[in-house]
Amino acid sequence: MVYCMNRGDTMADITETAQKKLKSRIRKFKKVAKDEDERAMFFDQLGASVEIFLPTKNPEQMGDSIIFYTTSEGKIIDAEYSYNEGEENFTSVPITDKDLAILIEVFKSNFHLE
């Protein structure tokens, strides 16, 4: 049996919980699709992130990525750099506004980023 590290639940328990949560979310999405007020409230609270995995010579041993955090309109509001060595060693570092401007310039020709 596989156990979740945080609560000791089995993988079946967490999967069942995830399925229930998905059903709840789908009910909410149906309301959002039908009601303009629900839609406005939903999108006012919504944010998104886009993770761009950078190429590496040995992705099994080392990986890094840039994570852009956006508003629901796609406006970038923050970013961080993630670095990992295998599955155990992981860290992320905030990206400064100055560096963020450079990243937006680099990626905007192939991605729609603001």
Give the pLDDT confidence of 56-80 residue by residue, as tens digits: 998 888 999 999 998 877 788 899 9
Q: Quote the number of domains for the chain.
A: 2
Span 75-106, pLDDT tens digits: 888 999 999 998 788 999 999 999 999 998 88
Give dist(CA 46, CA 71) in Å, integer.
Answer: 7
For residues 59 and 92, membership in a common domain is answered with: yes
For residues 30 and 61, membership in a common domain is answered with: no
For residues 55 and 1, membership in a common domain is answered with: no
Asked whether the predicted pLDDT for residue 6 surpasses 90, the reply is no
For residues 77 and 29, membership in a common domain is answered with: no
Print the domain residue range for 107.
46-114
Structure tokens belonging to residue 76: 């970038």
Instruction: Please state the rounded mean pLDDT for residues 44-58.
Output: 89
Using an 8 Å Cβ cutoff, are 2 and 15 in contact? Answer: no
Q: Tokens 């998905």 appear where?
A: 22
For residues 40 and 50, membership in a common domain is answered with: no
For residues 29 and 77, membership in a common domain is answered with: no
